């Protein structure tokens, strides 16, 4: 066992890890684990921005300083969970993909192998002196291109360095969807209602992303009007019947030790 060694959670965007596994992070930290949330697509783009990026900023209630402000939101959210935060300099697909003209494009764009390799190297470099015992990342439910790239990069690092790879169910992409699995179920003990409350407090620190996901007009979710707290708690209650508030799997590609 390597229970004393850190867990490195690799989040595609500045919100995904907290939205998906915030309660689990809070529980692990309470159990004395050292958790770092490393966000891949946290790089600061240079204006001028595309029409799509400008429209995205408006949906988020942000301007040209969107990424610095989102980084600040993330520091506050991860601070509530008492996790360390690390931001990698890769550009979000919204700034990276020239041809982007709709949200649908983000879910259809092919993953870029060279970028996967570059991100894998950057994640490896971020280990520092003390290597993590486990790497966690998203299962990429919903197929967002940045989520697929992140999962592929983390899987590559896990394979190369023989590290345990844990995948989480992407929220809110999995909300309202039937339960499905991405490997062998992993359960973290003692994730309590207090940890779920801590997650709600942390998620509330991402006002720009909550505005985009829940208040703006959203074609990709059929324009449904939803309250984020109700959706998050409803999803957690549903998943509790399948093993926990937040579902996790050990990926089949990793070599457990």
Select 33 or 57, whichever has its Cβ closest to Zn ion. Answer: 57
Select 80 or 140, whichever has its Cβ closest to Zn ion. Answer: 140
Select 138 or 251, whichever has its Cβ closest to Zn ion. Answer: 138
Tell me how far, at minimum, the Cβ of 92 lies from Zn ion, in Å.
Answer: 9
Tell me how far, at minimum, the Cβ of 210 lies from Zn ion, in Å.
Answer: 13
Select 133 or 140, whichever has its Cβ closest to Zn ion. Answer: 140
Select 15 or 33, whichever has its Cβ closest to Zn ion. Answer: 15
Select 9 or 133, whichever has its Cβ closest to Zn ion. Answer: 9
DSSP per-residue codes, the chain: --TTS-EEEEESSTTHHHHHHHHHHHHHHHTT--EEEEESB-----SSPPHHHHHHHHHHT--TTHHHHHHHHHHHHHHHTT-EEEE-BPPPHHHH-TT--SHHHHHHSPP-HHHHHHHHHHHHHTTTTS--SEEEEE--TT--HHHHHHHHHHHHHHHHTT-EEEEE--TTTTTTSPP--SSEEE--S---HHHHHHHHHHHTT-HHHHIIIIIS--GGGTT----HHHHHHHHHHHHHTTTSSS-EEE-TTS---
Separation CA 112–CA 117 (nearest Å): 9
Separation CA 207–CA 189 (nearest Å): 30
Tell me how far, at minimum, the Cβ of 12 lies from Zn ion, in Å.
Answer: 4
- Residue number with the smallest Cβ distance to Zn ion: 13
Tell me how far, at minimum, the Cβ of 2 lies from Zn ion, in Å.
Answer: 28
Binding site for Zn ion (CB under 5 A): 12-13, 16
Q: How far is CA 59 from CA 52, 67, 73, 186, in A?
A: 11, 14, 16, 36
Task: Tell me if 93 sits within 8 A of 107, measured CB to CB.
Answer: no
Rg (CA), the chain: 17
Select 16 or 74, whichever has its Cβ closest to Zn ion. Answer: 16
């Amino acid at each position: 066992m390597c229970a004393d060694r850190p867990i490195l959670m690799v989040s595609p965007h500045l919100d995904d890890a907290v939205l998906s596994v915030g309660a689990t992070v809070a529980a692990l930290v309470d159990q004395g684990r050292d958790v770092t949330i490393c966000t891949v697509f946290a790089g600061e783009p240079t204006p001028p921005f595309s029409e799509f990026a400008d429209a995205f900023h408006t949906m988020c209630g942000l301007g040209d300083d969107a990424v610095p402000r989102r980084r600040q939101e993330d520091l506050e959210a991860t601070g509530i969970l008492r996790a360390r935060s690390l931001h990698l300099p890769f550009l979000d697909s919204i700034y990276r993909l020239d041809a982007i003209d709709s949200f649908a494009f983000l879910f259809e764009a092919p993953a870029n192998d060279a970028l996967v390799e570059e991100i894998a190297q950057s994640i490896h470099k971020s280990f520092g002196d003390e290597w993590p015992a486990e790497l966690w990342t998203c299962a990429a439910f919903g197929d967002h291109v940045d989520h697929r790239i992140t999962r592929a990069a983390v899987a590559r690092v896990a394979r190369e360095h023989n590290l345990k790879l844990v995948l989480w169910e992407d929220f809110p992409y999995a909300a309202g969807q039937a339960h499905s699995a991405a490997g062998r179920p992993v359960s973290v003990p003692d994730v309590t209602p207090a940890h779920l409350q801590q997650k709600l407090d942390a998620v509330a620190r991402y006002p720009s992303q909550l505005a985009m996901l829940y208040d703006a007009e959203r074609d990709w979710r059929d324009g449904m009007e939803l309250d984020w707290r109700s959706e998050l708690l409803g999803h957690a209650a549903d998943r509790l019947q399948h093993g926990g508030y937040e579902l996790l799997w050990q990926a089949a590609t990793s070599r457990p030790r």
